[in-house]
Amino acid sequence: MQPIDVTPPPGEPVEEQETTTPRRRRTRRIVLGSLLAVGLVGAAFIGTVGWRVAQQKDARLDTPQEVAGLRLDQSQRAQETADYLRTAIGARIDLDQSIGVVYADPASASRSVLLFGGTTLIWTPGSDLDTLFEVLSDDTGAVAELHDVDAGDLGGVMKCGESVAPEGNTTVCGWADHGSVVLALFPGRTQDEGGALLREIRGTIQSRD
């Protein structure tokens, strides 16, 4: 028997065996699709964060004579206390503008509110707010039961806890967004009362350009 010649005629292309199997092609499409989806999610996240930073970064804090039924205490003792804590946070957070004030409660001298903080561009509001609570712990006693509370219409992060000290515990609440960070002491008030009062105070003293 003569051997069979399988050589294709001259000029006729030789078909190459396909090296990429259907399963491999499908796997490649899944991987590429997943990478594209992750990229789109990442871009959306960055866009959301960028919009929030742009919206909140240009914050301004005022200290009016009256706010939420409280009156600005301009006594030397009140100012010295506020200046002390304002200096303490200035050593930990570089602020463009800082405030430190005491607001007296006309109904009770023991329920004055101490407010301190400031404004600057803040990339990590939650972290910077925790730094303020650490400053307060160093100066007045540990802050216990720290938890998130509703930040209100201005957004950002708000937390409340209790400053534990031998002379008595004091409610402490604070907020932070991409343009401001503020802490307040509320002696004689519960954490729920402190959070509600701070939201009201914030709505009056904070504005954005």
Q: Which residues pair with 162 in a beta bridge?
A: 144, 171
DSSP type of residue 6:
-
Residues in the chain with pLDDT values less than 70: 1-49, 51-52, 56, 139-141
Copy the structure tokens of residue 42: 């990442």
* pTM score: 0.73
3-class SS of residue 165: coil
Task: Go through the chain and tell me how many residues it has.
Answer: 209
Mean pLDDT of the chain: 82
Contact 114, 163 (CB under 8 A): no
Close Cβ partners of 185 (under 8 Å, ≥ 6 residues apart): 113, 114, 140, 163, 170, 171, 172
Q: What is the pLDDT of residue 94?
A: 87
Contact 75, 103 (CB under 8 A): no
Q: What is the pLDDT of residue 154?
A: 94
Q: What is the pLDDT of residue 150?
A: 96
Q: What is the pLDDT of residue 3?
A: 46
